[in-house]
A and B are shown apart, each in its own frame.
Chain A
Amino acid sequence: MVHSPYLPNTEADRRAMLAELGLESVEDLFRDIPEKVRFRGSLDLPPALSEPELLTHMKTLAGRNANASEWALFLGGGAYDHFIPSVVGHVIGRSEFYTAYTPYQAEVSQGVLQTIYEYQSLITRLTGMDVANASMYDGASAMAEAALIACAATRRKKVVVPSTVSPEYRETIRTYTAGQRIEVVLAPYDGETGTADLSELEKLVDGDTAAVLLQHPNYFGCLEDPEEVSRLAHGVGALFVIGVDPISLGVLRAPGEYGADIAVGEGQPLGNPLSFGGPYLGFFAATEKLIRRMPGRIAGATVDKDGDRGFVLTFQTREQHIRREKATSNICSNEALNALAAAVYLTVMGREGLVEVAKLCLHKAHYTRERLSALPGFRTPFRAPFFKEFVVSGPRPLEELNRSLAQRRMLVGPDLGRHYPELEGSFLVAVTEKRTRAEIDGLADGLGGLA
């Protein structure tokens, strides 16, 4: 006998319902499953846990993970330990939001629709772009879909990507473009600056190029020259796609100002917890003329029959549920609740707060680099300006450094050797507004003893 708090039908209910259907047993409801494919055993899964037992078990598992509430994480590489204001959790914890689905019935989904519209508005303001969608899975898949959109828009089959774009993004782009036989050309970086080698890039970009994809700040944390890359791309009729750190836009120029056609990025830093890599959100913004090629949901303002303002999903003829094989993307579920978190975050931080967060990151990161580069045996190999993350090469493998730092409940990384063999022994250090001077000095002390 199964007793679950989530299953309201009692045995009496079941009997009565079956009787009304003229059936003898539940088994009769499954007689359309042919015997050949019928599963006759019992699923080999652990037996049910009661709520208190489940809580104990889950706490045990959670207790075996180093986490940001007890550790000073200087880890970067695409996910960052930024501060999340309490209001964010409060809003996304409202079950009117989190137990809803895609707002197919607009009249009873105005809450979700208006928040998507506000999210889109906030992203366009942040990026300086004309339009934004309701969200993608994450920064990597957003950039990959941007590559596909660029190929469709230009009817070309090649994209050029500097190796300073995150290796995880590049792997995702390769997977997304493989089926359509789109060529992904890798452009080298300048070993002195840590940025895309522009003269090499220029050689690789030609009349067959659908898009140049840049990340700024790049995977090494270095600032690229987006203005120049934009010119280069547009010079051959290619689109310029840029991936940006949304927090950096508190101090850095908006993609719309230097001619980006599509601006994407990882929205995790905007009020979303690290959560071991997901769920995050990809933001996706573009110029007005690309709106009919955008992937995913878009909310738009309209009026109801009394003339009052209201919101609906719009331009749905781009989407899979209407256009099927002619859709601009196959995306259906997106990351709406994470986008809501981002909207609340940007609202809480507001015009001044985002600038303040960005400046705190910038100053603390520069202080950290100064401290670490002064340590014997440690170097900071790249000289390009940076924002909140930078490369350090150390005297010992990262694994060893982290094992020692772990005793102080601190971690740096990731290691760069796996994706960049020439950078064996180098790693990333990311510094958010959450890192205190005491932690930074502790990090320097910890590493200093390991030279």
Chain B
Amino acid sequence: MSGKGYVYKNEPLIFELSAPGRRAYSLPALDVPASDLAEVLPEDQLRREPAALPEVSEVDVVRHFTRLSQRNHGVDLGFYPLGSCTMKYNPKVNEVVANLDGFTGVHPLTPEELVQGALQLMYEMQGYLAEIGGVDEVSLQPAAGAHGEFTGVSIIRAYLEDRGEGHRHKIIIPDSAHGTNPATAVVAGCRTVEVKSDERGGVDLESLKAVVDEDVVCLMLTNPNTLGLFDENIHEIAEIVHEAGGLLYYDGANLNATMGYARPGDAGFDVVHFNLHKTFATPHGGGGPGSGPVGVKKELADFLPVPVVRKTGDRYFLDYSVPKTIGRVKSFHGNFGVVVKAYAYIRSMGPDGLKRVSEDAVLNANFLMRKLARDYHLTYDRICKHEFVVSGVRQKERYGVKTLDIAKRLLDYDFHAPTVYFPLIVPEALMVEPTETESRETLEAFAEAMAAIAREAAEDPDKVTGAPHTTFVKRLDEARAVRQPDVAFKGDLEEK
């Protein structure tokens, strides 16, 4: 990642590379009679000045973006232990098959008899996810995890309303939950009630009993939770919530821990979302696209978004007649291109392979946790699942080295940092998710880097607090980005 001198330290903005008259495109000449623009478009609708887009050659474009790509850490460059994000390796064959013309070139509104391959793939995928999640029906429409959460909560609310319980408006969320859970609850028009974690890191049953009542819509739970701990009381939790007439929502962010070992549907969850970009190895794309299918128990199937793919005889079709559907959460049928990659992944792993994925993810996490626990405080000392949380409190209290500094120093060791300051219930948290696609040697190297940083914190704290030292840019001033907002380049416009 460090500057070797063969690329610019500061790559200019594409606008700064622009020169009038240069072009990177090539289009055919008009082969039909031209209309008179003034005749077919009203004068006051015409754009007077073309948008100030760059004027560059193709070489400029390619070098610019290639250089930028080199200023970026990705899974293909190295270890990326970002907790709760499941940054596992993205198999290349999945990229190849997803790029087949027969998938990329298909218009979403093509007559069904001409897209039987795409519909078959979606139909089978719905079935695979239902099996893995222990649910009855699945919609592939949501575009990401948070989108799936919104879809799931909307389904639950519609179901309750249908039963004459539309007054319910409380969503219970553990204090260890992802930020998307409370945000989703509010977007869906509900109020959030936080429930505390107990000393083993699970939902505190007494606190839960105290907040469930006739206003409860659902409990949103990640299991294993963001501490990487499987909630051993899940059965009791489900009973408490169900007894109060509420439902159980499963945030699927951490499904990578339990495939073939536990299915959320069997544990009492009524609605489940899956993150295909986490568990099912599709790339994260620098922030997306993801895909967040939602699965439900059969009582809730009448409320799924439309369309759902179904089969009659040997013909696949898009079913828009879901009787009490919540409607749509986006155009068309979901992030199909992502679904193709996840489908290919499931087909290449098979049932035993997926189980082995969870085994190795959990084994790697426990192996690494024990190594890091030598130098960092481990808040919950028990077997973890696919991820774990250690704390930098010791380093902060003794040497004034914060978790943020540790994270930045890791970049100098060519590792991406873990998720930091989350979950909120652990001070100075470092949330580490190694995934199953890392070797023992990689885990050992990371553990050595963390140990080295712990030593540096004690012996030469400035080295840590001043990190990173070797990256293209040094530590960035985030406060200034808010104080003096610059979210769109205007430099070249002012010159004119």
Contacts and interface: CB of A to CB of B under 8 A. Distances in A.
A324 B104 CA distance: 36
| Among B15, B357, B363, B475: residue with most chain A CB under 10 A | B363
A375 interface: no
A325 interface: yes
A95 B74 contact: yes
A236 interface: no
Interface in B264-284: 266-268, 277, 281, 283-284
A130 interface: yes
Interface string A292-332: 00000111111111101111101100011111111101111
Contacts of A280: 331
B210 interface: no
Interface string B304-330: 010000000000000000000011111
Contacts of B11: 114
Interface in A147-195: 148, 166, 168-169, 171-172, 174-176, 178-181
A403 B128 CA distance: 33
Contacts of A406: 111, 114
Given A39-B263, A277-B336, A331 B485 contact: no
Contact of B104 (A50, A122, A273, A327): A273
B72 A96 contact: yes
Given A28-B383, A331-B144, 8 more contacts: A9-B364, A42-B352, A49-B348, A96-B69, A126-B51, A175-B329, A300-B482, A336-B287
Given A26-B363, A337-B288, A79 B107 contact: yes
B362 A30 contact: yes
Given A325-B182, A336-B285, A78 B72 contact: no
A330 B489 contact: no
A104 B404 CA distance: 11
Interface in A61-99: 61-70, 73, 75, 77-79, 81, 83, 85, 87, 89-91, 93-99
Top 6 closest pairs, chain A to chain B, by CB = A62-B102, A277-B332, A179-B189, A48-B350, A64-B117, A111-B72
A218 B351 CA distance: 47
Contact of B486 (A100, A176, A279, A300): A300
- Residue picked from A78, A104, A181, most chain B C-beta under 10 Å: A104
Given A67-B106, A85-B24, A61 B288 contact: no
Name, among B58, B76, B407, the residue most crowded by chain A CB atoms within 10 Å (CB to CB).
Answer: B76
Contacts of A174: 327
Interface in A107-124: 107-112, 114-118, 120-122, 124
B291 to A, nearest CB: 8
B50 to A, nearest CB: 5
13 contacts: A7-B356, A33-B261, A49-B348, A68-B101, A95-B76, A98-B285, A105-B411, A115-B68, A117-B488, A180-B187, A276-B106, A336-B289, A351-B50
A134 B471 CA distance: 24
Contact of B328 (A85, A140, A402): A140
A47 interface: yes
